Amino acid sequence: MTGILANLSGALASGRVEIVDLTHRLTPDFPVMVLPPEFGQCAPFRKTEVSAYDHRGPAWRWNEITMNEHTGTHFDAPSHWITGRDVPDGATDSIPVRNFVGPVVVIDFTAEAAADEDALLEVAHIQAWEERHGRVPADCWVFLRTDWSKRQGAAYLNLREDGAHSPGPSPDAIRFLVEKRDIRGFGTETVGTDAGQAGHLDPPYPAHATLHGAGRYGLQCMCDLDRLPATGAVLLAAPLKIENGSGSPLRVLALVEKEG
Amino acid sequence: MTGILANLSGALASGRVEIVDLTHRLTPDFPVMVLPPEFGQCAPFRKTEVSAYDHRGPAWRWNEITMNEHTGTHFDAPSHWITGRDVPDGATDSIPVRNFVGPVVVIDFTAEAAADEDALLEVAHIQAWEERHGRVPADCWVFLRTDWSKRQGAAYLNLREDGAHSPGPSPDAIRFLVEKRDIRGFGTETVGTDAGQAGHLDPPYPAHATLHGAGRYGLQCMCDLDRLPATGAVLLAAPLKIENGSGSPLRVLALVEKEG
Ligand SMILES: [Mn+2]
Ligand SMILES: [Mn+2]
């Protein structure tokens, strides 16, 4: 074994590099996005027992599982959105696998999200972050930490008569990240990469429109982003290899190195 | 960023560390295990369109997906088997996440599998491998390379009147790996971790019985094991966080460092 992976294995064994799980449990009651009734809906997770050490299979248990590609903690492929329909290698089974492992930075937006549930990340917030932590590297995941994953029940989707209310990026901010910083992808704790009221922005759903049109990826419904450092973690986020999939539930893990 | 992860990120960016995909595409025609008709069966992968940039969702496409926890390239948790039913942390959502990243070694069993489709890996094969490559490390994945993933159609399951015919470990070999080498898990290219005729061994299905009874993990239906070195790769294999899941389809990736 040459150096880099031997060092990684040693650091994992010693605990110097820790693995952090950013994934919600897949259960039938985890909230899914709710669309206007004329549209196809996102199915929640369901599980049916096939056997459980019984007459249907004496020595084994296993289940059948059903969900949407966008149920629970999940990955958005470029061809999920109409802007990305003609992006090369834009589905879960064609994205180059090198994109499934790489650096991630975390922007702490918790104060803004606590003060205003419709708070939009602006370019000025990113620039303030860069003054403290350095420039957002190219080909890097950017996560928007809002602590939204700590909300329970109805407060998570936060639906009112006029739709969902939750934070997300402004059109300018996501364009800045894609065009000026050349990020690999953008991830959130909310049910989508866009704010709850993002249908009223220009363009509507700017995170989806801009990221996927440029062949970039999304991650959402993550938890425990407060366990990540602002810079220096490595993300492991590999979707299922669904044939021409538009996205996928997945296990999102991060490698975090301890100081010293 | 301190050293180890910075080095990893740099090596991924430069191509010095490559990511190898060991996963078959999830399609309806990928073969699943066939059990005697009195038992619950393993569902193949199915996908139903929810919208495709149309009246059901003008700007997006997404699908509903159904499968067994043991469909396609997948992970076996300890509680999949009756011997592992009381193992602590034995389900997909309770296994400590540190087990999802770590070293893997590959035993080349292609010549034996080509000569005899019921070939059993014996302790002597492992000892011969150790003479060339060193002792199998503790807490390591061991993969049995058979090139079985290159078989097409009916030749993959290789069913005859008396059941499936495919290679796997002998009871002694898997006991040796678990008890004398303390491995983390065992992975194959065939449809299961056990040989096709393993129901006739003592114990029946020794890989399942021994691995899971000892709290160890299984991986199967992998491909492209010929792209891995005998030692030195790092495996990324994280199941979906299914509530009390017995296993999970997943993306299996390996990090491989280039020489020099
Ligand atoms: Mn989505
Ligand atoms: Mn299985």
Write the DSSP string, B156-221: HH-EETTEE---EE-HHHHHIIIIIS--SEEEESSSSSS-TTGGGSSSSSHHHHHHHHTT-EEEES
Instruction: Starting from the CA of residue A212, give the closest ligand.
Output: 1
Mean pLDDT within A82-109 = 98
Chain B hits for A236, CB-CB cut-off 8 Å, are: 101, 236, 238
Q: Do B17 and A4 touch (CB under 8 A)?
A: yes
Name which of A19, A59, A64 is nearest B101 (Cβ-Cβ).
Answer: A19
Would you give the distance in Å from CA B41 to the centre of its chain? 19
- Selected for mutation to probe chain A from B242, B244, B256, B259 (highest A CB count within 10 Å) is B242
Q: How confident is the model at residue B2 (pLDDT cuts 50, 70, 90)?
A: low
Distance CA A32, CA B104 (A): 37
What pLDDT was estimated at residue B260? 64
Cis peptide before A203 (omega within 30 of 0): yes
Q: For tokens 């991060």, what's the residue? A: A254
Chain B hits for A39, CB-CB cut-off 8 Å, are: 51, 56-57
Q: Does position B1 have pLDDT exceeding 70, yes or no?
A: no
What pLDDT was estimated at residue B19? 98
Q: What are the structure tokens assigned to B95, written together?
A: 């296994």
What pLDDT was estimated at residue B259? 80
CA distances from A181 to A144, A195, B99, B242 (A): 15, 21, 34, 35
Cα of B11 vs centre of ligand 2, distance in Å, is: 34
Instruction: Starting from the CA of residue A57, give the closest ligand.
Output: 2
Q: Does position A18 have pLDDT exceeding 60, yes or no?
A: yes
Cα of A73 vs centre of ligand 1, distance in Å, is: 9
Q: Do B68 and A80 touch (CB under 8 A)?
A: no
Q: Do A65 and B61 touch (CB under 8 A)?
A: no
Chain B hits for A19, CB-CB cut-off 8 Å, are: 97-98, 100-101
B235: closest chain A residue by CA: A9
Name which of B61, B72, B103 is nearest A9 (Cβ-Cβ).
Answer: B103
Instruction: Starting from the CA of residue A75, give the closest ligand.
Output: 1
The topology under which CATH files domain A11-46+69-257 is: Glucose Oxidase; domain 1 (3.50.30)
Q: Do B208 and A63 touch (CB under 8 A)?
A: no
Chain A hits for B66, CB-CB cut-off 8 Å, are: 64-66
Could you tell me how many CB contacts below 8 A there are between chain A and chain B? 265
Cα of B218 vs centre of ligand 2, distance in Å, is: 7
Q: For tokens 């364009």, what's the residue? A: A175
What pLDDT was estimated at residue B105? 98
Beta strand residue intervals within chain B, DSSP E: 17-21, 46-54, 57-68, 74-76, 101-108, 120-121, 141-145, 159-160, 163-164, 168-169, 185-188, 217-220, 233-237, 247-249, 252-257
Mean pLDDT within B1-5 = 76
Distance CA A119, CA B36 (A): 57
Query: What pairs with residue B65 in β-bridges?
Result: A67, B47
Active-site residues of A, by number, are 80
Mean pLDDT within A212-221 = 98
Distance CA A175, CA A57 (A): 53
Q: What are the structure tokens assigned to B154, written together?
A: 């009916």
pLDDT single digits (tens) B217-246: 999 999 999 999 999 999 999 999 999 999
What pLDDT was estimated at residue A259? 80
Q: Do A5 and B257 touch (CB under 8 A)?
A: yes
Q: Does position A260 have pLDDT exceeding 90, yes or no?
A: no
Chain B hits for A45, CB-CB cut-off 8 Å, are: 242
Q: What are the structure tokens assigned to B86, written together?
A: 């009381």
DSSP letters, A30-99, are S------TTS---PPPEEEEEEEEETTEEEEEEEEEEEETTSSSEEE-GGGBGGGTT-TT-STTTS-GGG
Distance CA A126, CA A135 (A): 9
Distance CA A149, CA A49 (A): 29
Q: For tokens 């549930």, what's the residue? A: A117
Cα of A63 vs centre of ligand 1, distance in Å, is: 24
Q: Does position A2 have pLDDT exceeding 70, yes or no?
A: no
Cα of A73 vs centre of ligand 2, distance in Å, is: 23
Q: What stretch of H or E contains A247?
A: strand A247-249
Task: Report the complex ipTM.
Answer: 0.97
The identity of residue B169, as a single letter, is: P
**Portion of chain A with pLDDT greater than 70, in percent:** 99
The topology under which CATH files domain B15-27+69-257 is: Glucose Oxidase; domain 1 (3.50.30)
